[in-house]
A and B are shown apart, each in its own frame.
Chain A
């Protein structure tokens, strides 16, 4: 089966001449149907640049991005744009404060021509119910919702567009731990029920351990290791991965034992 998303030797350089910055260098990986691939790395490792290239915010400098086996053009068609959706870190700033959350969700339906005009408010309410919010929340502004509720709206917005691949850019970093657990559970259920694929960008390795099928570790724009989640945590091949896992604050002795068994020490 062809993978849903393939990156082949993708690079991105910002600027030219001596001040050029290679934000992403020669990155290749696949995301299969229904898979959750975690992209981890520290700030400046190129995670968000990668997301922007997959979304088509800007084109890659070289290499190829394939969706469903076909090359994605830099200028995306409506079909591509609806199939690849984004959920951002801070829902309060990613939702338009002057629109009701229903209007924010509906905008995608209008742009992509999903459903008939009379049908769309019902679709908006269905999408809200799917993420565990009452349908009549659609009249509320984002300011009247809590952080966790806003993030659910952002997820509903991505789902309503009939997406197949969702880029989750730090979707739970701004949330409290109890809220985070519920949102992660929701994302898992939606992935299973709807056969979605995720590119899960995060720096939180303990979240990755519990939600991802595979992990891609980035450092300074390069993909340093990519493997099954269990292999990454139990037998990392690269020192940098060891160091990342070694720095995770843990709450139980079992975790401490695992961390010490890797004993990477902290990077200089």
Chain B
């Protein structure tokens, strides 16, 4: 199977007033066509910056130093000009952010924003044609009164509705890679469950690969085919989802699993406070290596 995305030895440093801080210490991962890969870790572990590097957004910051190989469908992303990279975003690679209501522009209607997205691939598209395409896409995310939604502003819709709009937009141009940064974290648990189920169905139909970033192990278990666990800028464990959850090999992964409260009860976990074991070398499960 061909790789949609390959990251090789990615390092990231930020230059600040107090010197240089290292954020990523050489992470490597790859995503095959149609595969759902999750990157799990705590806040500050380097999940979101990885996504932003893939989109080429972080490289534009003067304080960020990015090193390492980035390959999208076999093409070396580091060799692209800014304009070429810009052309990839929203067409071949798209992204869904954590809070749907603040990732949509509050001063334009959903219809206007949808047309803008569709024109990225099809610049000459008329507004009528765009509205019609948007209508069918909204149908696919089970929004049936699409005329009302297209005429509405983001703040007039609920969080769950906005999230579905964002998903429809992200998949509108048939990207080969969708980056989802904590989708659903800002939503109620029932809405989150519905949104994830919907996203699951859609990416399955369209064969889109998903790079899924989350801190919620339960969500990852239900959504991803393969999991990478990241701790302080290093991948500590990788493998197929069932292997990781049934037999976590790394001390950090085990601590994470133990810390998750279970709905079957059993009380609160006793945590071992020693974190030195978290810096042990990476554990790779069979089938986790591409």
Interface residues of A (CB under 8 A from B): 42-43, 147, 176-178, 180-182, 184-185, 188, 203-207, 209-211, 229-230, 233, 243-252, 254-255, 258-259, 266-267
A258's closest neighbor in chain B, by CB?
A: B264
Give chain A nearest CB distance to B145 CB in angstroms: 15
Give chain A nearest CB distance to B75 CB in angstroms: 35
Report the bound CA distance from A205 to B265 in whole Å. 11
A176's closest neighbor in chain B, by CB?
A: B42
Give chain A nearest CB distance to B186 CB in angstroms: 10
B218's closest neighbor in chain A, by CB?
A: A249
Interface SS, A side: helix
- Of A42, A206, A243, the residue contacting B261 (CB under 8 A) is A206
| Contact A209-B193, Cβ < 8 Å, known A43-B188, A180-B259, A203-B188 | no
Judge whether B263 is part of the interface by a CB distance below 8 angstroms: yes
Q: Which of B233-290 contact A (CB under 8 A)?
A: 245, 255-271
Judge whether B121 is part of the interface by a CB distance below 8 angstroms: no
Interface residues of B (CB under 8 A from A): 42-43, 159, 188-194, 197, 215-219, 221-222, 245, 255-271
Could you write out 29 A-B pairs with CB less than 8 Å apart? A42-B189, A42-B191, A43-B188, A147-B43, A176-B43, A176-B215, A177-B42, A177-B217, A177-B259, A178-B255, A185-B268, A203-B189, A206-B261, A206-B263, A207-B261, A209-B265, A210-B266, A247-B190, A248-B263, A249-B217, A249-B218, A249-B222, A250-B262, A250-B263, A251-B257, A251-B260, A252-B262, A254-B264, A266-B197
13 further interface pairs, Cβ-Cβ under 8 Å (given A246-B193, A250-B221): A176-B42, A181-B258, A181-B261, A205-B189, A210-B267, A243-B190, A245-B263, A249-B193, A251-B218, A252-B245, A254-B262, A254-B264, A259-B263
A255 adjacent to B263 (CB under 8 Å): yes
Report the bound CA distance from A229 to B190 in whole Å. 20
Report the bound CA distance from A29 to B215 in whole Å. 35
A209 adjacent to B217 (CB under 8 Å): no
Q: Which residues of B contact A178 (CB under 8 A)?
A: 42, 255-256, 259, 271
Report the bound CA distance from A200 to B247 in whole Å. 33
- Of A203, A207, A249, the residue contacting B219 (CB under 8 A) is A249
Of listed B42, B193, B270, residue having the most chain A CB within 10 A: B193
A173's closest neighbor in chain B, by CB?
A: B185
A177 adjacent to B188 (CB under 8 Å): no
B268 adjacent to A184 (CB under 8 Å): yes
B188 adjacent to A249 (CB under 8 Å): no
A245's closest neighbor in chain B, by CB?
A: B263
Give chain A nearest CB distance to B265 CB in angstroms: 5
Of listed B192, B217, B258, B263, residue having the most chain A CB within 10 A: B263
Report the bound CA distance from A267 to B260 in whole Å. 25
Closest 6 CB pairs of A and B: A249-B218, A247-B193, A181-B259, A176-B42, A42-B188, A206-B261
Give chain B nearest CB distance to A202 CB in angstroms: 11
Report the bound CA distance from A162 to B288 in whole Å. 53
Q: Which residues of B contact A233 (CB under 8 A)?
A: 263-265
Give chain A nearest CB distance to B39 CB in angstroms: 15
Report the bound CA distance from A87 to B119 in whole Å. 48
B190's closest neighbor in chain A, by CB?
A: A247
